[in-house]
Amino acid sequence: MNHYDIIIIGGGITGTAIARECSKYQLTAALLERGTDIGIGATKGNGGVVHPGYDPTPGSLKAKINVRGANLYPQLARDLNFGIINPGIFVIGFSDADEAVLKHKLEFGIKNGVRDLAIIDASQMRNREPHLAADAKNALYAPTATVVDPFEVAIAFAENAKANGVDILTSQPVIAIKKRADGRFQLITPDQQFSCSYIVNAAGNHADEVARLAGITEYQMKPRHGDLLVLDKDMVNKPQTVMFPCPGPDTKGIACIPTVHGNTIVGSTATMVDDKEAVNNYGPGIQALIDGIHKILPELDAGKIIRTFAGLRPVVLDNNNDFFIAESQTVTGFIHAAGIQSPGVASAPAIAEQVRDLLDNAGLKIVPKSDYNPYREKSIDFDALSMAEQDALIHQNPAYGRIVCRCETVTEGEIIAAIHGEIPARTLDAIKRRTRAGMGRCQSGFCQYKVIAILSRELGMPVSDICLEDRGSQMLCGPVKGGAK
Amino acid sequence: MKQLDYDVVVIGGGPAGMAAALKAKEKGATVAVIERNDELGGILNQCIHSGFGLSYFKQELTGPEYAELFINQVAAAGIDIFLKTMVIDLNPEHQVKAMNEDGMLVLAAGAIVLAMGCRERTRGAIKIPGSRPAGVLTAGLAQRYVNIENRKPGERIVILGSGDIGLIMARRLTLEGMQVLGVYELMPYANGLYRNIKNCLDDFDIPLHLSTTVTNIIGHPHLEAIEVARVDENLAVIEATREVIACDTLLLSIGLIPENELSQKSGVSLNPRTNGPLVNETLETDQPGIFACGNVLHVHDLVDNVTLEAEQAGEAAADYALQQKAAATVKATRLADNKVAITISPGENVGYTVPAKLSVPSQKATRILFRVRQPMDQAAVVIQAGTKILYQSKTRAFKPSVMEAVVLKPEEINGLNGIEKTITVSVREVK
Ligand SMILES: Cc1cc2nc3c(=O)[nH]c(=O)nc-3n(C[C@H](O)[C@H](O)[C@H](O)COP(=O)(O)OP(=O)(O)OC[C@H]3O[C@@H](n4cnc5c(N)ncnc54)[C@H](O)[C@@H]3O)c2cc1C
Ligand SMILES: Cc1cc2nc3c(=O)[nH]c(=O)nc-3n(C[C@H](O)[C@H](O)[C@H](O)COP(=O)(O)OP(=O)(O)OC[C@H]3O[C@@H](n4cnc5c(N)ncnc54)[C@H](O)[C@@H]3O)c2cc1C
């Protein structure tokens, strides 16, 4: 049985950030993810806004971690070579009552240590966003706010952790946890067993169930569902700024979010639900998104929607909407990184530091590695190269001369690289997250059969075994006629 | 990096691209066709059903047979064919940037013919709620899987949308032993051709449910069922009619969109009604020397019309390129310069027209293509300039699924010179 100092359960942005943090020190660690890829929980269903930290109540854990996390992002993006843009945020007021809320947020932000916040008037807003609703009066402006592609960040964290010695294992759902007589934990998955001295529970919406496997009943969780939609890159009058309406008591409201790749996301609704697996879109939710965004951008063309999606925010109940990051009070060596609801993306790098400190407190020796490499090389993005570079690349490897995804200009070379990458892509969606093949306006209508064929060839699997994402999501049945391969 | 020079570069090697290339070559131009697939023929290669060529060749061919007749001619005509070559950029100066396994290439062209075809509308466009499982795909992709890749998408199939591809696939999947439970259509009338309803559904006892739509997608990780419901005359769901149907595959046949990313890169303006370029009577876009034809211009249901349209575009492109070449040596001006442009606008019950512009005086007859918005049993096409009626057709039935064509003779339009700026095409009920 493999023994590690630390096992992290859950490969979302929280778990992968922790894995990368662990990889900096002289210790052994593994990450176990139940899905066929990392980043397929809440981490693939969110808005990607790195909130700067004017929302959380001053003094709360979330306030401290959110601001610290957001401040770490620009440097992380350089070190790990993931995409980041700096559109800033407007929180828009439409009335005098709203203005009072904005001032309150400004005060929170200043107390939390967020830089450069200001209340701006309608004309200043309109300079940046000429298509803004006529009744928008003023806004809290957070110029430092950035936006990332959250699963790209999780993949970057995981790849860098792996390059520095952390084992990243997918398709490994933890189904049982025992504390042995020697004080070590034993973790059981359907096909393997592991032992470790410390557990970090980063299982997202399932953190309460994972805790229960170890006999811990310190909290209960429920998901808060959100619908989102994606608009085509070629939409006219695209917003340049993340724009939220002045929030109500429970939600941040429906926002438009420019993405790293030039699309616009509209999100999110917020509804408490019971089913942790049903990441469905709801008809009224989608309509609420369209209606909501029209309050900010009345002319936004809903005909440009290319996809709807959804996510579940992991919420620990009766916890003041805060994160639950602590060592268990009943089982020593078991650390919770649970209830990572919004802004979990923004906070992840700082959650990782907090977990490191908790491990330190719990008795694990935290000694930096001398050979730690903080950098991750960017994989080839054909579309972003100059024509001369593209030409040279094709001469080196003709697979880069074969376009697979026409909407996002993705070559076969990039897809093969993703399949054989540090964290290998083995499904259509895994390839889509790494290369963007299938992300564009035709939504894989053109490239799906090609990607299936490449996966089948590279992995030596029959095409009828190739999945969209989760086990059981095979795309095709058997041959129509006779003995097809 | 390769650099090449042609009078006419045709982007796309489907039926439109091939017909345009042949005509341009016939006119004496040097021609290249660029096709991203392994072979010429475009979408026809996966349309193994028959029903092609009835008007152009006066015989009933399958898609691949129709394509082959053109592929053979193109091969014999001395046209340069680039296969497995993707055009990735086009600028207003007629520079075409393309790539293949041998590297990047730049082609400079006197004129360009856009013939890139179209793509299918997807689930996102109609925002069906529910889960996002495997088992939901567009009908054209299913056609590719079954007819070319030899793979079944599933066993129990429901089809949303009564477009022609969905109808054709209902029959194909039935013939291949899959169970097609029904075709559901939001509108109170079918979107596909009458002959396809008859030959593909009625003959196989596949039910067509009009005024009915899919309201929920159920199942994860794979599709397990869909919910359908009838809609009222305002297209609002009638709650009491919601019904769950177990199936493992949902095919979407909900429309086609001309593929104009490249056209837009070259600055060509699109017609919001067709999503294709705005063109004049020579099928020239608003970028001089860039022409368009086939499904990239507007979605066609009959390939015979594509071929006719493409021949016109190919001829005009060759004329343009050869005139420009001559003009460069003798400093002549373009012939069309002393003409007056007239806008053709869609009137009552007409969705769009191609062309959207026309210049007078004209020596040639002008073919105006259009579709009606709503079916009408007793109606006539009326073309007017102000109150003056230029043309009126016989009374007959009209359906949105059928592309209509009207030919205006020079004498019917040349009188307009300088007087009217707009002519309107309407389809009006006749009592
Ligand atoms: C609609 C919506 C919008 C949001 N917008 C933003 C935003 O703009 N900015 C922002 O900062 N945050 C946002 N968030 C919040 C953010 O998405 C989450 O905070 C973050 O993704 C949580 O990451 P996580 O790693 O904790 O959870 P997850 O990503 O869910 O990861 C948990 C992982 O654990 C795995 N797992 C579960 N059980 C087991 C087991 N037994 N064994 C092994 N593995 C297991 C799961 O498969 C999963 O991959 C949004 C969330 C939603 C839903
Ligand atoms: C499923 C289906 C069934 C049909 N059934 C019938 C029927 O029964 N009878 C009938 O008469 N008509 C039928 N039609 C209609 C007719 O076949 C089509 O309208 C016609 O094929 C369109 O021709 P096209 O050349 O414009 O487009 P396509 O055939 O789509 O060709 C476009 C070509 O351009 C290439 N291309 C696009 N972009 C690029 C680029 N950037 N670089 C290089 N190459 C590029 C594509 O690969 C493709 O080969 C059917 C159409 C479909 C889709």
Is there a contact between B151 and A484 if contact means CB atoms under 8 Å apart? Answer: yes
ipTM reported for the complex, 2 dp = 0.92
Instruction: For residue A466, give the chain B residue with the closest CA.
Output: B134
* Cβ separation B125–A305 shorter than 8 A: yes
Distance B306 CA to ligand 2 centre (A): 9
Q: Reduce the DSSP state of residue A223 to 3 states and report it.
A: strand
A-facing residues of B in 215-254 (CB < 8 A) are 215-216, 220-222
Q: Please, are residues B402 and B347 in contact by the beta-carbon 8 Å criterion?
A: no
Q: Strands of B249-387 (E only): list them.
A: 249-252, 256-258, 270-271, 276-277, 290-292, 340-346, 350-354, 357-360, 366-372, 376-385
- Between the CA of A203 and the centroid of ligand 1 the distance, in Å, is 8
Span from the CA of A223 to the centroid of ligand 2 (angstroms): 46
Res B332: pLDDT: 47
Structure confidence at residue A485 (pLDDT) = 44
- Indicate the SS3 state at residue B370: strand
Q: What is the pLDDT of residue B126?
A: 86
Beta strands A264-267 and A185-188, pairing class: unpaired
The answer to whether the CB atoms of B102 and A394 lie below 8 A apart is yes
Strand partners, A223: A314
Is A478 in Cβ contact with B153 (below 8 Å)? no
- Residues of chain B found within 8 Å of residue A462, distances taken between Cβ atoms: none
Is omega for the bond preceding A473 within 30 degrees of 0, making it cis? no
Whole-number Å distance between alpha carbons of B353 and A16: 55
Tell the residue nearest (CA) to atom 48 of ligand 2: B42
Domains in chain A and their CATH numbers?
Answer: 83-146+222-306 (3.30.9.10), 382-465 (1.10.10.1100)
- List CB contacts (< 8 A) between A230 and chain B: 124
**What part of B 174-213 touches A (C-beta under 8 Å)?**
176
Put simply, the answer to whether A474 touches B134 (Cβ < 8 Å) is yes
Collapsed DSSP state (helix, strand, coil) of residue A373: coil
Residue in A with minimal Cα distance to B138: A445
> Residue B215: its chain A contacts at CB < 8 A?
283
B165 CA closest ligand 2 atom index: 1
| Confidence (pLDDT) at A483 | 55
A446 with B116: CB under 8 angstroms? no
Cβ-based burial of B162 (10 A; exposed 0-12, middle 13-18, buried ≥19): buried
| Per-residue tens of pLDDT for chain B, all 431 residues | 899 999 999 999 999 999 999 999 999 999 999 999 999 999 999 999 999 999 999 999 999 999 999 999 999 999 999 999 999 999 999 999 999 999 999 999 999 999 999 999 998 888 899 999 999 999 999 999 999 999 999 999 999 999 999 999 999 999 999 999 999 999 999 999 999 999 999 999 999 999 999 999 999 999 999 999 999 999 999 999 999 999 999 999 999 999 999 999 999 999 999 999 999 999 999 999 999 999 999 999 899 999 999 999 999 999 999 999 888 765 544 544 567 888 999 999 999 999 999 888 888 889 999 999 999 999 999 999 988 899 999 999 999 989 999 999 888 888 776 667 899 999 999 98
CATH match of B122-254 with 3.50.50.60: yes
Question: Cβ contact (<8 Å) for A448 and B132?
Answer: no
**Answer CATH for B1-119+255-337 from 3.40.50.970, 2.102.10.10, 3.50.50.60, 1.10.260.40:** 3.50.50.60
Q: Whose CA is nearest to atom 37 of ligand 2?
A: B116
pLDDT at B17: 98
Collect all residues of chain A within an 8 Å Cβ-Cβ radius of residue B166: none
Interface test with A, best of B132, B136, B257, B262 (most A CBs within 10 A): B132
Query: Cβ(B184) to ligand 2 under 6 A?
Result: no
Can you tell me whether residue B127 is helix, strand or coil?
Answer: coil
Topology alike, domains B1-119+255-337 and B122-254: yes
Look up the pTM and report it. 0.94
**Which one of A51, A206, A225, A336 is the catalytic residue?**
A51
Structure tokens at A65: 């971690």
Q: How far apart are CA B283 and CA B113, in angstroms?
A: 9
Residue A278 has, within 13 A of its CA and on its CB side, a CA count of 16
Helix (H) or strand (E) holding B137: strand B136-138
A443 and B122 within 8 Å at the Cβ level: the answer is yes
Strands B366-372, B388-392: parallel, antiparallel or unpaired by DSSP? unpaired
Measured in Å, residue B419 CA sits from the centre of ligand 2 at 40
Best to test chain B binding among A171, A450, A473 (most B CBs inside 10 Å): A473
Ligand 2 atom having least distance to the Cα of B18: 25
At a CB cut-off of 8 Å and minimum separation 6, what does A292 contact?
A245, A253, A254, A266
Specify the pLDDT at position B105.
97
Centre of ligand 1 to C-alpha A194, Å, is 24
pLDDT at A322: 94
**Closest listed ligand to the CA of A35:** 1
Between the CA of A343 and the centroid of ligand 1 the distance, in Å, is 10
Q: Is B266 in the pocket of ligand 2 (CB under 6 A)?
A: no
CA–CA distances in Å: residue A43 to residues A343, B4, B315: 11, 47, 54
Whether B52 lines ligand 2, by a CB cut-off of 6 Å, is yes
Residue-wise pLDDT tens digits, A222-236: 999 999 999 999 899
How much is the average pLDDT of A288-315? 95
User: Taking the CB of residue A382, how many other CB atoms lie within 10 A of it?
Assistant: 22
d(CA A301, CA A163): 44
Instruction: Tell me how far apart the alpha carbons of residues A247 and A259 are, in angstroms, rounded to a whole number.
Output: 22
Segments making up each domain of chain B, as ranges: 1-119+255-337, 122-254, 338-431
Contact A449 B99 (CB under 8 A): no
CA atoms of A386 and A302, how far apart (whole Å):
34
Pocket-forming residues, ligand 1, beta carbon under 6 Å: A 9-15, 32-35, 40-43, 45-49, 51, 173-174, 202-206, 210, 226, 228, 267-268, 311-314, 340-346
Active site residue A420: no
Instruction: List the beta bridge partners of residue A188.
Output: A176, A193
H/E element holding B254?
none
Residue A194 clears pLDDT 70, i.e. is over it? yes
Q: Rounded to a whole number, what is the distance in Å from the CA of B274 to chain A's nearest CA?
A: 14
* Helix spans in A139-282 (H): 150-163, 207-213
Give CA–CA dist A347/A341, Å, rounded: 10
